[in-house]
Amino acid sequence: MSDPNANDGGSRQISAMGAYSLAEILSQPQCWSDLLKLLQNADVIEEIEKRFGRYPEWLFVGCGSSYYVALAAAASWTAITGRRARAVPASELLLFPDLIFTGMADFVPVLISRSGHTSEVLRVAQLFQRKNIPTIAIFCTGKNPLQELATLPLLLPGVDEQSTVMTRSFTSMLLSLQYVAATLAGKPDFIQELHTLPITAEKVLHNLPMRVREFVSQNRFADYVCLGQGPYYGLACESGLKLTEMSCSYTQAFHTLEFRHGPKSVVSRETLIIFLLSQSNYAAEADVLEEIKELGGTTLVVANRIDDRARAAADFMVELNSEVPEYSCLAPFVFAGQLLGLYTALHKGLDPDRPRNLSRVVILKDEKKQPENAEI
């Protein structure tokens, strides 16, 4: 795939703060289009189907944004295949393995890491290798240690970022795992629905950056809350993480209806509450939206279609207007969070391409010190 950040001279220098992040966010429709074409002809997809097609249980493992990919992918997996799927942080599996593995028998671990160098994910891969448990790994850069440790590696070329935080790699890994799930479930219609997403995304991104930039410039928030249910919970977590990473803002994520049970005490005009509204439970989630608006919160709503009720309670709206079923159109729900992180950072005078205290990959200083109790 082509890299929209590269110029003819191959230079990696872009002078304006946030230019990499913005280019990478806007490149997602083309990235998805190229990626889905690649997956159609990828031998590894057929290998995954042959080797793991009948396994009843799947375990998705990652750290940070990759863990949030795992959350959304596990929810998608269950919906698409009808098989049990769970997501866990790599650290949880290493430190409290009995809480994860008790009762599990025939399962497939799916290890997720943009770089393929994340220390905790590598340690999990080594653990499974010692136990002779075959694994699938998904990553966005070649020639990495995870590639060597996995039984079946799935490389997604052309979706890695030059900026620090994950944007297009997040959505691309999610789409790829949904593609694999649909292949295993024998659902070509779902795969065809995924092929329509680049068009939807292109339309949504046409004027969304300008709208978000204007919204950020006109408001100053002390707190941010991201809400989502079911498959949208992982997307809400990721949206909040973009705000935290890029703009050094304090952000929390909750299941939408859980926000009523205590957390709503933080609501004020200076609190931006981001609602990712599902299609299947729209009415129940819109009840919470109205309740929070009545408490004086500032609200941002992302939904496939927004009715008059939600419009009256929303200060900012992102409407996707996709014709495909719910689980086929998850990835675009994170656009608002990505752009909020970008423009909030710039409004604060920060560089979202290079957030403070962060690196592109977490590599622990002492790789020799591994948890001794990590047994299955």
The full length of the chain comes to 376
pLDDT at 162: 94
Look up the domain containing 24 and give its range. 19-195
- What are the structure tokens assigned to 189, written together? 């219609």
pLDDT at 357: 78
Q: Give yes or no for residue 130 having a pLDDT over 80.
A: yes
Whether 142 is covered by a domain: the verdict is yes
**Pair 172, 316 in one domain:** no
pLDDT of 321-366, one tens digit each? 999 999 999 999 999 999 999 999 999 999 999 988 777 766 776 6
Q: How confident is the model at residue 1 (pLDDT cuts 50, 70, 90)?
A: very low
Residues in CB range of 352: below 8 A, 6 or more apart: 17, 18, 21, 163, 165, 246, 247, 341, 342, 345, 346
pLDDT at 202: 97
Whether 369 is covered by a domain: the verdict is no
**Pair 60, 182 in one domain:** yes
Helix intervals (H) in the chain: 19-26, 28-40, 43-52, 65-81, 90-95, 97-101, 119-130, 145-149, 168-185, 188-195, 197-205, 208-218, 231-247, 282-294, 308-313, 335-347
**Pair 105, 122 in one domain:** yes
For 355, other C-beta atoms within 10 Å of its C-beta total 20
CA distance 157 to 335: 21
- What are the structure tokens assigned to 234, written together? 């992982």
**Pair 216, 316 in one domain:** yes
Q: Domain total for the chain?
A: 2
Q: What is the CATH number of the domain that holds 274?
A: 3.40.50.10490
Q: How confident is the model at residue 9 (pLDDT cuts 50, 70, 90)?
A: very low
Average pLDDT over residues 141-147: 94
Please identify, among 144, 174, 195, the residue that sits at the C-terminal boundary of a domain. Answer: 195
**Pair 185, 233 in one domain:** no
Whether 86 is covered by a domain: the verdict is yes
Q: How confident is the model at residue 14 (pLDDT cuts 50, 70, 90)?
A: very low
**Pair 237, 157 in one domain:** no
Please identify, among 163, 195, 227, the residue that sits at the C-terminal boundary of a domain. Answer: 195
User: In this predicted structure, which of 10-19, 206-215, 260-269 has the lowest mean pLDDT?
Assistant: 10-19
Residues in CB range of 274: below 8 A, 6 or more apart: 224, 225, 226, 227, 236, 239, 240, 299, 300, 301, 302, 336, 337, 340
pTM across the whole model? 0.92
Whether 360 is covered by a domain: the verdict is no
**Pair 162, 207 in one domain:** no
Whether 340 is covered by a domain: the verdict is yes
**Pair 131, 232 in one domain:** no
Q: How confident is the model at residue 105 (pLDDT cuts 50, 70, 90)?
A: confident
CA distance 337 to 225: 11
Q: Give yes or no for residue 374 having a pLDDT over 60.
A: no
Q: Give yes or no for residue 69 having a pLDDT over 60.
A: yes
Query: Which backbone phi and psi does 184 adopt, to 5 degrees?
Result: -65, -35
Average pLDDT over residues 209-213: 97
**Going by DSSP bridges, is the β-strand pair 107-112/57-62 parallel, antiparallel, or unpaired?**
parallel
Average pLDDT over residues 159-169: 96
**Pair 313, 209 in one domain:** yes
CA distance 375 to 280: 39
**Pair 175, 207 in one domain:** no
pLDDT at 10: 33
Whether 60 is covered by a domain: the verdict is yes
Whether 4 is covered by a domain: the verdict is no
**Pair 255, 312 in one domain:** yes
pLDDT of 216-243, one tens digit each? 999 999 999 999 999 999 999 999 999 9
Q: Give yes or no for residue 4 having a pLDDT over 80.
A: no
Q: Give yes or no for residue 147 having a pLDDT over 50.
A: yes
Please identify, among 168, 195, 222, the residue that sits at the C-terminal boundary of a domain. Answer: 195
Given the structure tokens 């079923």, which residue do they identify? 325
pLDDT at 183: 97
Q: Give yes or no for residue 376 having a pLDDT over 50.
A: no
* 155, containing H or E segment: strand 152-155
Q: Give yes or no for residue 39 having a pLDDT over 60.
A: yes
Name the strands in the sheet holding 107-112, side by side, starting at the edge strand that comes first in the sequence: 84-89, 57-62, 107-112, 136-139, 152-155
Average pLDDT over residues 53-66: 96
Three-state DSSP class for residue 152:
strand
Report DSSP letters for 320-354, one per residue.
----S-GGGG-GGGGHHHHHHHHHHHHHTT--TTS
Whether 312 is covered by a domain: the verdict is yes
Q: What is the mean pLDDT of the chain?
A: 92
Q: Based on the number of CB atoms within 10 Å of its own CB, is 304 exposed (0-12), middle (13-18) or buried (19 or more)?
A: buried
**Pair 40, 189 in one domain:** yes
Q: Give yes or no for residue 251 having a pLDDT over 50.
A: yes
Q: Give yes or no for residue 6 having a pLDDT over 60.
A: no
Amino acid in the structure at residue 313:
A
